[in-house]
């Protein structure tokens, strides 16, 4: 199943995250490359937070998707950090999400090259032995 995530949906998601974070204080915002960078920039403007080049104590850490946890887990123990992802393919435990989706759903984000998403998806599946 393929889900095309629009800029309008992205903007609404940024609003939701910003509303959940507006009364919290952060030392900055870190977007996990590459998928989290668009979200981090949008939230940095919305929340008036500095973008930071690495996550630090009390930072807001964001990414586009939580699938296996491999990426986000590397930052899990940063003191005071708060975590948000747009999509989670598992029920959130210590991170926050806007959407929970099933493991087989492929999300095409608006900043991605839509002409390449099929080859990107096939490569992803191949690397995980799913195809």
18 Cβ neighbours under 8 A, 6+ residues apart: 43, 46, 47
pLDDT over 80 at 121, yes or no:
no
Check residue 50 and give its pLDDT: 97
| CATH number for the domain formed by residue range(s) 2-127 | 3.40.50.2020
131 pLDDT tier (thresholds 50, 70, 90): low
Model confidence, pTM: 0.88
Model pLDDT for residues 39-50, shown as the tens digit of each residue: 999 999 999 999
Query: Domain residues of the chain, as ranges?
Result: 2-127
> Is the model more confident about 35 or about 83?
83
Check residue 109 and give its pLDDT: 92
Check residue 91 and give its pLDDT: 94
Check residue 11 and give its pLDDT: 97
Check residue 2 and give its pLDDT: 85
22 Cβ neighbours under 8 A, 6+ residues apart: 47
DSSP characters over 78-116: STT-EEEEEEESS--SSSEEEEE--TT-EEE-TTS-TTS
């Amino acid at each position: 199943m393929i889900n095309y995530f629009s800029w309008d949906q992205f903007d609404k998601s940024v609003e939701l995250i910003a509303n959940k974070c507006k009364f919290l204080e952060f030392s900055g915002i870190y977007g996990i490359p590459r998928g989290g960078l668009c979200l981090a920039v949008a939230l940095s403007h919305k929340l008036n937070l500095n973008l930071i080049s690495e996550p630090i104590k009390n930072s807001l850490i964001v990414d586009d998707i939580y699938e296996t946890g491999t990426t986000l887990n590397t930052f899990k123990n940063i003191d005071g950090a708060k975590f948000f992802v747009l999509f989670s393919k598992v029920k959130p435990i210590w991170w926050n999400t806007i959407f929970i989706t099933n493991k087989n759903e492929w999300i095409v984000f608006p900043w991605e090259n839509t002409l390449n998403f099929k080859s990107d998806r096939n490569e992803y599946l191949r690397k995980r032995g799913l195809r």
